[in-house]
């Protein structure tokens, strides 16, 4: 395929976007520093920087650092009023959205519930409603929208390809639909990779060159960062670990929990998402209740949710705790596999299970340590960004990918 040659305007927009990224990443740079970093003549860097100031994207402030004798240089910093960016992150049951200003400061957030019987059109309407609610009440323009999409995507065509846990979610032109409704650029990314971006820029992956972020929700996937960049793969499927065939603790293999049997079993065709996702935990709990398992969860039998199970585990319910422990052992095995594959600096777990703290993470670390090579202990951490980390990552993606119109 012939290489596409950028027009002069596209080249200028790309250069100015890179200037904005560098200023934002460093918390402020002088014109001289920008020229050095981008290998431009100071006069050339000054022309572009002046236009970004004039257009309201950068502010000038006196830098505390002197580069030579005389007056301190003027530092350029992002103008919070330069515009806003919306980030949306959703999966089979939940939709989270946030809005940030031009300096990446969060301004608001929204949560909406996705029902099992919601159609694609209804999900799109909920995404639209969330964005409109976040856009209201502020006069600064929304410049871009980032969406963390579950399952596989085509980021070039801005299409959501497929997701197992939303019925009929195939070849959805999500980017085009949202761009038509709001008139701004829309950037799609897999939702777990959006979570990895949030960790890279703001969380447990900040300052690292190599890490893996495991997102556990209705499904399971991993965002892999290598050399400081997100790994997408040849067909944008990197990190789709939910289909891994995995061993299962005996109590889950038997459909039972709480019997104290720590043996592992291999079951033909058992996939990771089938036994170690939030939907799998809910299904295992429901099977236990149907067998008459003694547990505080019996009070919520007809309307049992994953939140009931997590709360019961926190309160020391033996059955709920044993389910979490069993799934923790599986994810300890997952961490070991990822450690062997990528040798990352850190493996980060994100989602509701990671929010349980040591109740879940302790088992993950213990199991991964038992499986590790002698003398090696993988570094495993829980995300501290909360349930909106994917939305934050999606908003930051839009902000980093956005280019000024030239």
Q: What is the per-residue pLDDT across 198-233, written as a single tens digit (0 to 9) for each?
A: 999 999 999 999 999 999 999 999 999 999 999 999
Same domain, 40 and 115: no
CA dihedral angle for residue 132, residue 134, residue 137, residue 141, rounded to 10 degrees:
-80
Confidence band, pLDDT 50/70/90 cuts, at residue 293: very high
In a domain, 227, yes or no: yes
Across 63-164, the runs of DSSP E, i.e. the strands, are 74-78, 84-90, 94-101, 106-113, 142-149, 152-154, 159-162
* Residue percentage of the chain with pLDDT more than 90: 84
pLDDT of residue 302: 78
pLDDT over 90 (residue 186): yes
Domain range for 333 is 211-382
In a domain, 226, yes or no: yes
Same domain, 240 and 196: no
- State which of 23, 47, 78 marks the end of a domain: 78
CA-only gyration radius of the chain, Å: 23
Same domain, 199 and 215: no
pLDDT of residue 63: 63
In a domain, 320, yes or no: yes
Same domain, 71 and 86: no
pLDDT over 80 (residue 263): no
Structural domain count of the chain:
3
Instruction: From 399, 402, 401, 350, select the one nearest 105 (Cα to Cα).
Output: 399
Same domain, 176 and 287: no
pLDDT over 80 (residue 394): yes
In a domain, 406, yes or no: no
- pLDDT of 58-114, one tens digit each? 999 976 555 555 556 689 999 999 999 999 999 999 999 999 999 999 999 999 999
pLDDT of residue 292: 94
Question: What's the DSSP call for residue 28?
Answer: -
- pLDDT of 120-130, one tens digit each? 999 999 999 99
Q: Six-digit token pair at 273? A: 């998402």
Same domain, 322 and 183: no
Domain CATH for 17: 1.10.10.10
C-alpha distances (whole Å) from 135 to each of 90, 388, 402 are 18, 17, 18
Confidence band, pLDDT 50/70/90 cuts, at residue 248: confident
pLDDT over 80 (residue 268): no
Give bridge partners of residue 29 from the DSSP assignment: 76
Domain CATH for 367: 3.30.420.40
Same domain, 192 and 250: no
Same domain, 198 and 243: no
Same domain, 70 and 108: no
Same domain, 246 and 358: yes
- State which of 24, 52, 78 marks the end of a domain: 78
Confidence band, pLDDT 50/70/90 cuts, at residue 54: very high
Same domain, 28 and 114: no
In a domain, 3, yes or no: no
Same domain, 244 and 272: yes
Three-class HEC string of 160-204: EEECCCCCCCEEECHHHHHHHHHCCCEEEEEHHHHHHHHHHHHCC
Q: Which strands sit side by side in the sheet containing 152-154, from one edge to the other?
A: 152-154, 159-162, 170-172
In a domain, 2, yes or no: no
In a domain, 1, yes or no: no
Question: What is the average per-residue pLDDT within 374-384?
Answer: 95
pLDDT of residue 157: 93
Question: What is the average per-residue pLDDT within 44-65?
Answer: 90
């Amino acid at each position: 395929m012939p290489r596409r040659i950028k027009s002069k305007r596209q080249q200028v927009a790309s250069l100015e976007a890179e200037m904005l990224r560098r200023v934002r990443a460093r918390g402020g740079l002088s014109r001289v520093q920008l020229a050095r970093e981008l290998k431009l003549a100071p006069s050339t860097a000054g022309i572009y920087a002046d236009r970004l100031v004039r257009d309201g994207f950068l502010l000038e402030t006196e830098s505390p650092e002197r580069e030579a004798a005389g007056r301190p240089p003027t530092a350029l910093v992002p103008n919070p009023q330069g515009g806003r960016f919306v980030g949306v992150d959703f999966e089979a049951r939940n939709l989270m959205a946030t809005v940030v200003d031009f300096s990446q400061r969060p301004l608001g957030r929204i949560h909406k519930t996705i029902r099992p019987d919601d159609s694609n059109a209804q999900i799109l309407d909920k995404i639209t409603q969330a964005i409109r609610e976040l856009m209201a009440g502020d006069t600064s323009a929304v410049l871009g929208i980032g969406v963390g999409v579950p399952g596989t995507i085509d980021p070039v065509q801005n299409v959501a390809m497929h997701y197992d846990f939303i019925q009929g979610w195939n070849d959805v032109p999500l980017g085009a639909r949202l761009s038509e409704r709001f008139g701004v650029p829309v950037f799609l990314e897999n939702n777990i990779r959006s979570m990895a971006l949030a960790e890279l820029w703001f969380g447990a992956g900040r300052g690292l060159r190599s890490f893996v972020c495991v997102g556990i929700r209705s499904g399971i996937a991993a965002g892999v960062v290598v050399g400081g960049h997100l790994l997408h793969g040849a067909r944008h499927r990197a990190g789709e670990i939910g289909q891994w065939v995995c061993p299962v603790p005996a109590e889950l293999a038997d459909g039972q929990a709480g019997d104290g049997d720590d043996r592992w079993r291999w079951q033909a065709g058992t996939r990771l998402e089938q036994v170690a996702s939030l939907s799998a935990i809910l299904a295992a709990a429901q099977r236990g209740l149907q067998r008459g398992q003694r547990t505080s969860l019996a009070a919520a039998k007809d309307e049992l949710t994953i939140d009931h199970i997590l709360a019961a585990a926190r309160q020391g319910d033996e059955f709920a705790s044993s389910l979490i422990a069993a799934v923790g052992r599986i994810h300890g095995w997952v961490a070991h596999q990822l450690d062997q594959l990528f040798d990352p600096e850190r493996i980060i777990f994100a989602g509701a299970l990671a929010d349980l703290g040591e109740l879940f993470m302790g088992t993950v670390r213990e199991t991964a340590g038992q499986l590790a090579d002698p003398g090696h202990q993988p570094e495993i951490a829980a995300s501290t960004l909360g349930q909106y980390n994917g939305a934050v990552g999606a908003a930051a993606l839009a902000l980093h990918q956005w280019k000024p119109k030239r």
